[in-house]
Amino acid sequence: MRIALDAMGGDKGLSPIIDGGLLAAQEYGVEIVFVGRREEIEQELAGHRLSQSLHNSVQIAHASEVVHMDEEPGAAIHAKRDASMVVGVQLVKRGEADGFVSAGNSGGVLGAAQLFLGRLPGVRRSALGTVYPTLHGYCFVLDIGATTDCKPEYLYQFGVMGSAYAHGVLGIETPRVGLMSNGEEESKGSQLVKEAHQLLKAGPLQFIGNVEGKDIPNRPADVVVTDGFTGNVFIKTSEGVAALLLKTLEREVKRRPHAMLGAMLAKSALRATRACLDYTDYGGAALLGVAGVVIVAHGRSEAKAIKNAIRVAKQAADSNIIKVIEEGVR
């Protein structure tokens, strides 16, 4: 198993990425191909004392260019054919890597994957999916931003792809699939959602009907299907509300000397709460529907998040998710 890792992606420079790649190589026994400027990668690697076996499981694929976080992704991947994310995707396309992980400009990674890998036969649009914390473990939400404007058939296929992912990567025997809507009743939803509801209902998935944002934390569904616009609003709103709540709590605590002491005593519980909800740490988002395994890690990723993203790429490749999706959308 060989995973290509974009060494140039991420907000925090090469260091956490190289660290994460080495951790994954040790822990999961995968080979890592660091993609990016050879000299910079070698310099970073020189700072580590690698065992012979670890040394053998690491390679470098040189790529002279970088797509930066603030670049317009569409233009960048066309202009920079030697960008690390383009070269990484090409390694997957040529079968020289079983998957690609990048914490770089996410629009760029999506664009490069769609352009150079292309969609699987029968797949109408690709979808980006992420695990989402609930009170009872994680569920899988897609699309969170690959396809902004959707048709009912796209949402149906997102259900198929999400179900395959939840089975293969998350290990759920028969995933329950829900459709994000503004009400549980079948009659609720936009025109798009109402039509997608009928398609999902008629299909072979274990479709449980509409789910609402307020119920998702109770995990009625293992897979939540939505269009890329709504899914993106859903994810970002969740981030915003969690931050709002924690900041408000901090402010209210600071106003009360008793509460300050209390918060100190409850510090580890607060930290655990934060950790439970930090899905960004869980391993990144999977781009489904393209002809290869591509995992988009969060730009802020630390070594642990990079390591987790590589684990997810490995699981996706191990479970042959590409083939399962190809068969599911037929």
Position 190, amino acid: S
Separation between Cα atoms, residue 163 and residue 75, nearest integer Å: 33
Q: How far is the CB of 202 from its own copies (least distance, A)?
A: 22
In the complex, the smallest distance separating the C-beta of residue 191 from its own copies, rounded to whole angstroms, is 5
Does residue 277 belong to the site contacting its own copies (CB under 8 A)? yes
**In 23-108, which ranges are E strands?**
31-36, 58-62, 99-102
Token pair listed for 33: 């191909």
Of the candidate residues 208, 263, 278, 320, the single one contacting its own copies (CB under 8 A): 263
- Contact between 182 and its own copies (CB under 8 A)? yes
User: Does 198 interact with its own copies (rule: CB under 8 A)?
Assistant: no
CB of 145: closest distance to its own copies in angstroms?
6
Query: Using CB under 8 A, which of 1, 172, 208, 242 touches its own copies?
Result: 242
Report which of 71, 138, 137 is spatially closest to residue 106, judged by C-alpha positions: 71
**Which one of the spans 52-60, 61-69, 255-263, 306-314 is the region binding its own copies (CB under 8 A)?**
255-263
User: Is residue 280 within the footprint of its own copies (CB under 8 A)?
Assistant: no
Q: Encoding tokens for residue 298? A: 């969060």
| DSSP notation for 177-230 | EEEE-SSSSTT-S-HHHHHHHHHHHHSSSEEEEEE-TTTGGG-S-SEEE--HHH
Restricting to residues 72-91, name those near its own copies by CB under 8 A. Answer: 72
How many residues of this chain bind its own copies (CB under 8 A)?
63
Q: At 142, list the tokens.
A: 């897609």
Question: Of residues 96, 171, 243, 300, which one binds its own copies by CB under 8 A?
Answer: 243
**Helix residue ranges, H only, the chain:** 14-28, 38-46, 52-56, 73-79, 84-93, 106-112, 152-168, 191-202, 228-254, 257-265, 267-277, 303-318, 321-328
Considering the complex, state which of residue 75 and residue 79 has its C-beta at the smaller distance from its own copies. 75
Closest by CA to 112, choosing from 302, 318, 328, 294, is: 294
**Residue 102 CA to chain centroid, in angstroms?**
10
Residues in region 221-240 near its own copies by CB under 8 A:
227-230, 232-240
Q: Which segment (58-66, 117-125, 245-253, 284-292) binds its own copies by CB under 8 A?
A: 245-253
Residues 100-159 that bind its own copies (CB under 8 A): 133-135, 145, 148-149
Q: Under the criterion CB under 8 A, does residue 56 sit at the interface with its own copies?
A: no
Strands (E), the chain: 2-6, 31-36, 58-62, 99-102, 127-134, 137-142, 176-180, 206-211, 223-225, 285-288, 294-296
CB of 205 to its own copies, least distance (A): 22
Q: Of 15 and 190, which CB lies nearer to its own copies in the complex structure?
A: 190
The reply to whether 247 sits near its own copies by the rule CB under 8 A is: yes
Radius of gyration (Cα) for the chain, nearest Å? 20
Two tokens, residue 330: 């037929």
Q: Nearest distance from residue 199's CB to its own copies, in Å?
A: 18
What is the binding site for its own copies (CB under 8 A)? Answer: 72, 133-135, 145, 148-149, 180, 182-183, 187, 189-191, 193, 212-217, 227-230, 232-249, 252-253, 255-256, 258-259, 261-270, 272-273, 276-277
